[in-house]
Amino acid sequence: MRQATITRKTAETDICLSLTIDGSGKSEINSGCGFLDHMLTLFSKHGRFDLTLTCKGDTQVDDHHTVEDIGICLGMAFSEALGDKRGIERYGSFALPMDEVLVLAAVDFSGRCYLGYDLTIPAAKVGSFDTELCEEFFMAFARSAACNLHLRQLAGGNSHHIMEGAFKAAARAMRMACRIDEAFADEIPSTKGAL
């Protein structure tokens, strides 16, 4: 079973996160940030990842530290759960339509981190959530997971839909990339022999 539990405590956040890659999409999430709870719940469902998360953060300041640190922990969990990445497909991509929005996500669990972020979110806030934190989350995730992640908005203008489309598309792309290729289950998917 490919799984990991990450605990991270700083002066700003106290996080416990458990991930099972080969799950069924079950989640129990309490981040202290309602919009992020919504995004991670659908991320879990669409990726078929089992995810539990609790976070006590300094949300009296704002949600920045909470969102960024959860991105760090989720990335760390993927890195740990994938181990040496033996047998994985490595690459995944998905174009997700959500009403007027179309978002493309592509991921490579390469061992190198890069975020290509091309989402134009018109509103500064959705509810109490600062929409600029969407990029912070994915940047923290890509760094900690050591993956290349590209998110590109191809159509649409509703801020909630754009971010939801990005989380869903990323989850579906990651689900593809994490899948074991049974024909090559004992191989590292790289000519270098390591990822």
Angle at 193 between CA 187 and CA 77, to 5 degrees: 75
Cα(194)–Cα(89) distance, integer angstroms: 14
Q: What is the mean pLDDT of residues 122-144?
A: 98
Q: Where are the beta strands (DSSP E) in the chain?
A: 3-9, 13-20, 27-30, 50-57, 91-98, 101-108, 114-118, 125-126, 129-130, 148-155
Q: Are 40 and 50 in contact (CB under 8 A)?
A: no
Global confidence as pTM:
0.97
pLDDT higher than 90, residue 1: no
Tokens of 73: 């922990």
What is the Cα 64 distance to its own chain's centre?
16
What is the Cα 16 distance to its own chain's centre?
16
Q: Kindly report which listed range (9-13, 64-68, 100-104, 188-192) carries the lowest average pLDDT score.
A: 188-192
Cα(85)–Cα(67) distance, integer angstroms: 26
In the chain the domains, ranked by start, together with CATH numbers, are: 3-184 (3.30.230.40)
Tokens of 58: 């300094």
